[in-house]
């Protein structure tokens, strides 16, 4: 039985590449088979089939039968998914534990030193990048907010203010308690975010949304390149730059003018 395109796409969505999908479906059809037999059925190069089956075994989709030649046993699809989920969960927990250990080890100090020395070789205008997806944008904003020591300026939309509240309010609250000045320009209604932000930041209303722009300590600027009302969150795009010149020559005058008006 040949799997439909919809089924193959579903397998791709859980991390199986083209050859893995072909081999897995072929093994399901046979139940037990050698790598050579599966390569012929799935039309996959024989030289690749061993690596592919080893990968599928590590992920939990197949079982290796220690025979001569080595044979591979298909698991029932539901069992395969359960095993794969368990394996992924275990690997995730192990990775998080290793990262937590690394954060307090001499290794991180060495990496930080390499990073700082590397920055000395980089021109300020080279420190730029494009961020795609709301999750990536919020992650980068979170990292920038944590570095703030003086002032954060924010121009945002109504939905941008709600998102700022749900993702960054607690962090910004801690920053404000440390003496970092927060100023926010946004369309304001009688909403919870407005009342909450008013306790930690200076806020002013703008009649219509201008954009989503953030500056941190006159060092970092991040601004949206897409309309948050017109694109899906996965297609949201923002531009980041570490540029005091861009902030001083354009963003700060624009912010101050809008703030005064």
Same domain, 243 and 143: yes
Same domain, 177 and 255: yes
Same domain, 164 and 67: no
In a domain, 119, yes or no: no
Same domain, 169 and 249: yes
pLDDT above 60 (res 119): no
pLDDT tens digits, one per residue of 23-57? 999 999 988 999 999 999 999 999 999 999 999 99
Q: How far apart are CA 247 and CA 222, in angstroms?
A: 10
State the total domains in the chain: 2
Q: What is the DSSP string of 228-251?
A: TTTS-GGG-EEEEEE-HHHIIIII
* Contact (CB, 8 A) for 222 and 119: no
Last residue of a domain, one of 32, 57, 83: 83
State residue 261's pLDDT score. 79
Last residue of a domain, one of 67, 83, 99: 83
In a domain, 53, yes or no: yes
From residue 56, give the alpha-carbon distance in Å to each of 60, 61, 153, 188.
6, 5, 49, 53
Same domain, 68 and 142: no
Residue 200, domain CATH: 3.30.870.10
Same domain, 255 and 142: yes
Same domain, 248 and 183: yes
pLDDT tens digits, one per residue of 68-110? 889 999 888 888 888 888 888 888 999 999 999 998 888 888 8
* Contact (CB, 8 A) for 84 and 60: yes
In a domain, 114, yes or no: no
Over 31-52, what HEC string results?
Answer: CEEEHHHHHHHHCCCHHHHHHH
Domain containing residue 10: 5-83
Same domain, 76 and 135: no
pLDDT tens digits, one per residue of 144-182? 999 899 999 999 988 899 899 999 999 999 999 999 999
Q: Tokens 């050698």 — which residue?
A: 34
Confidence of residue 125 (pLDDT cuts 50, 70, 90): low
- Rounded-to-10 torsion of CA 252, 256, 257, 261: 160
In a domain, 225, yes or no: yes
Same domain, 131 and 255: yes
In a domain, 120, yes or no: no
Residue 70, domain CATH: 1.10.10.10
* Contact (CB, 8 A) for 186 and 206: yes
Same domain, 22 and 144: no
Same domain, 169 and 72: no
In a domain, 73, yes or no: yes
In a domain, 165, yes or no: yes
Rg of the chain over all Cα atoms, to the nearest angstrom: 26
In a domain, 89, yes or no: no
Last residue of a domain, one of 31, 64, 83: 83
């Amino acid at each position: 039985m040949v799997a439909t395109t919809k089924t193959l796409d579903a397998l791709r969505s859980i991390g199986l590449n083209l050859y893995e999908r072909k081999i897995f479906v072929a093994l399901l059809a046979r139940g037990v088979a050698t790598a050579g037999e599966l390569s012929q059925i799935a039309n996959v190069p024989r030289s690749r089939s061993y690596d592919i089956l080893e990968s599928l075994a590590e992920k939990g989709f197949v079982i290796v039968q220690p025979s001569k030649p080595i044979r591979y046993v298909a698991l029932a699809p539901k069992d395969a998914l359960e095993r794969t989920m368990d394996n992924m969960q275990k690997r995730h927990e192990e990775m998080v534990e290793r990262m937590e250990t690394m954060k307090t080890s001499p290794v991180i100090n060495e990496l930080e030193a390499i990073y700082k020395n590397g920055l000395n070789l980089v021109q300020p205008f080279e420190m730029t990048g494009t961020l795609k997806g709301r999750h990536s944008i919020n992650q980068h904003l979170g990292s920038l907010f944590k570095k703030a020591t003086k002032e954060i300026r924010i121009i945002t939309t109504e939905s941008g203010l709600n998102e700022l509240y749900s993702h960054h309010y607690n962090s910004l609250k801690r920053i404000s308690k440390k003496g970092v000045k927060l100023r926010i320009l946004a369309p304001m209604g009688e909403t919870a975010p407005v009342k909450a932000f008013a306790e930690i930041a200076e806020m002013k209303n703008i009649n219509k949304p201008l954009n989503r722009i953030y500056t941190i300590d006159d060092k970092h600027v991040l601004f949206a390149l897409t309309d948050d009302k017109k694109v899906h969150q996965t297609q949201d795009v923002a531009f980041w730059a570490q540029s005091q010149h861009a902030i001083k020559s354009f963003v700060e005058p624009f912010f101050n003018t809008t703030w005064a008006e």
